[in-house]
Amino acid sequence: MGSSYLIGRQPILNRNEEIVAYELLFRSAGSRDVATIMDASQASASVIINTLSGFGMEAILGPHRGFINLELELLMSDSITILPKERVVLELLESLQVTPELVERCRALKAEGFTLALDDHEFDPIYEELYSIVEIIKVDLFLSPVERLAEMVDRFTPYPVKLLAEKVETREEYLRCRDMGFELFQGYYFAKPSVMEKKRFDDAGAYLLKLMRLLNEDAEIDAIELA
């Protein structure tokens, strides 16, 4: 592990262009400006470790919430329940396949008080059960250009979800998405991801390695709390 904690964050704004959340992003010493991810679950675990142990929620998020990407392994793990549910949004990556087990897990997390979001998403009936569970749907404007969004927005209308436009690069895109009913916005038009860094204490290294290993091994909550 390096001599510093690193974590990226990009603001998420509301319709009044006020920051309401940050997406938290994996960063490593050799790739401060972009994510070099060999293992998505390990990257998510690293974000969790750095958020909780390296910086603390308050230092990274202030009064706002943090969006954290989750692959299936971490999503299904009880380890994520160490996260403060009122401060985070669990972001389900587009690579996840919809299965009865996934739907049941998401339903259970929502019942526990977690907020869930679908990442890089385009409407598909196969997700119908999840549309009634998640609270936020992120629409990537690179994958779903503004010119063809109106029909998709209409198809989401029956569901109790907020739409978040990500990769917003111009004011025109922001205004058009806002007019279509999007409530949240993220992209280079507002701000590029920034990297936060904090020096590591040498005696914390062994603890963090142990905690990350426990997270990746789906350890019991009691074991994590005692680590």
Say how far apart CA 64 and CA 184 lie, in whole Å: 14
Smallest CA-to-CA distance from 166 within 195, 136, 207, 203 is with: 136
Give the residue from 55, 19, 72 showing the smallest Cα distance to 216: 72
Name the least confident of 38-47, 54-63, 91-100, 170-179. Answer: 38-47
CA distance 215 to 44: 10
Lowest-confidence segment of 22-26, 33-37, 49-53, 159-163 by average pLDDT: 33-37
Alpha helices in 29-69 (DSSP H): 40-49, 57-61
Task: Pick the more confident residue, 42 or 60.
Answer: 60
Q: How far apart are CA 28 and CA 201, in angstroms?
A: 17
Report which listed range, 63-72, 117-126, 201-210, 214-223, is most confident: 117-126
Q: What is the pLDDT of residue 225?
A: 47
Q: Tell me, rounded to whole angstroms, the distance of Cα 132 from its chain centroid.
A: 19
Could you give the percent of the chain with pLDDT greater than 90?
54
What pLDDT, on a 0 to 100 scale, did the predictor assign at position 157? 94
DSSP H or E run through 185: strand 184-186
Q: How far apart (Å, rounded) are the C-alpha atoms in residues 135 and 48?
A: 21
- For residues 168 and 186, the answer to whether their CB atoms sit within 8 Å is yes
- Structure tokens given for 166: 């990500």
